[in-house]
Copies of this chain bind each other. A is one copy, B any other.
Amino acid sequence: MTDNRKLVITNALIVTCDRDETVIEHGAMVVEGRDITWVGPGDALPAEHRVGAREWIDASERILMPGLINMHAHCGDSLFRGLVEDLPLEDWLQTVWKAEAAVLKDPADCRLGTMLGFAELLLGGVTTVMDMFWHADQSFDAAREIGIRLASGEIFFDPPGMDGFGPGDRPARAEALFDRYGDDDDLFVGTLPHGTYTVSPKGIHEALDLARARGGFLSTHAAETRAEQQTVRERYATGVIGHLSALGALSPRTVLAHCVHVDSQDIELLATSGTHVVHNPISNLKLGSGIAPLPEMLSHGVSLCLGTDGPISGNDMDMWLAMRLAATLHKGVNENATAIPAGEVLQMATINGARALAAEDRLGSITPGKRADFVLLDITGPHAAPIFDPINHLVFAAGRGDVRDVFVSGRQVVRDGRLVNVDLASLVAQVRGLQPRIRATLEADS
């Protein structure tokens, strides 16, 4: 008798990414419906699971690991990938915003860019993304279609938004997102004030109150650049982190992207409040923002997770590159080869993201009882021989090209390197179709 809800995987090298960093050679996993129900050595697989599964995957030559959790992205900006390069941050942002404002009023275009970003993430082994973009309803709908797990919400922003709405519209729009998507087990809804230099205390309070009332997260950009710190200091006589603390915005339900320019007092505030920090090394390097004090944050017990930022400060969203950088950048900058162990980085990219979403009971590791969000990674490549330690392999040598199969909530969304639910070629063709219009937004000005 076949159980249509049951999937069994055998012969896998399982890197569980649980808090004990458990690795299982010749491992097996049973998925029933959306959940993992059994994990262990293959020869201990209970008899009841040896027959009758809907699907049986021989994962020889594969690492089985939890899907990566990218805690900071702007997927819709895929439309503008590579449009503006080699400019200092302020000029860069003004140019990007002008292009965005000219293109993004149409929700369908937002959806297109976001879908392309989701496609890239899934094909790269990311099963959950915290995304900040305009027309978040489009993002949630796109996430359901392609099958990625999405955390998002309404952006709060004092100037008129690229979506055509103003600050007065944000609370009601945010409420609508909670109403519409808040009960979906595959989605997380929160509020997303853009930053303390672009949102007044009133806006931050609105976003915070709403997140609390609805049990959602709050996420914002924080302390990304020196200029931002200076602006906030001039305005509020305290730095970004102190300002957020004074607003009551630091807590275990708060996720701060970047935290590059933080001092020891800031780090103490972040650690004691249980606030989560998303390290985005690719973006911080490329935009010249600086180097976040990751070793100091780690040693002070700050909850750290990992992100790619958007593909206009990237120019892609490669969590493998983010892991590699998180694990090596701080060794080089501090001339200390022991800074930031590989195991720590892998947790940042998996279970720590789950913790930051208040979902460590459901996500982030290959553990019975959790949702079946996982990746099968090819290890037949020349860079995968030998593997003395699979965790080091994942952090220092594996890459997006190794991702073969991806499952979210037990449903396969990438099969042998191809999307299951969306036609990538058509998506790429549509984005290329927009290219002349996007390029024209810059040329109109010059």
Interface residues of A (CB under 8 A from B): 78-79, 81-83, 85-89, 92, 116-117, 119-120, 123, 226, 281-282, 284-291, 311, 314-318, 321, 324, 327-329, 331-339, 341-342, 380-389, 392-393, 396-397, 399-401, 424-425, 427-428, 431-432, 434-435, 438-439
The answer to whether A397 touches B81 (Cβ under 8 A) is yes
Name the B residues within 8 Å of A92 (CB-CB). 337
Give Cα A400 to B381, complex, Å.
Answer: 11
Give Cα A342 to B315, complex, Å.
Answer: 12
Option from B83, B332, B386 in Cβ contact (under 8 Å) with A284: B332
Name the B residues within 8 Å of A314 (CB-CB). 396-397
Q: A285-B328, A315-B396 are in contact. Are A82 and B337 (CB under 8 A)?
A: no
Name the B residues within 8 Å of A341 (CB-CB). 86
Name the B residues within 8 Å of A435 (CB-CB). 386, 388
Name the B residues within 8 Å of A285 (CB-CB). 328-329, 331-333
The answer to whether A316 touches B89 (Cβ under 8 A) is no
Option from B286, B290, B338, B401 in Cβ contact (under 8 Å) with A396: B286
Q: How far in angstroms is the closest Cβ of chain B from A242?
A: 22
Option from B78, B288, B315, B381 in Cβ contact (under 8 Å) with A337: B288
Give Cα A390 to B365, complex, Å.
Answer: 38
Name the B residues within 8 Å of A82 (CB-CB). 386-389, 392-393, 396-397
Q: How far in angstroms is the closest Cβ of chain B from A269?
A: 24
The answer to whether A315 touches B393 (Cβ under 8 A) is yes
Give Cα A438 to B194, complex, Å.
Answer: 52
Q: How far in angstroms is the closest Cβ of chain B from A224?
A: 12
Give Cα A315 to B338, complex, Å.
Answer: 15
The answer to whether B85 touches A342 (Cβ under 8 A) is yes
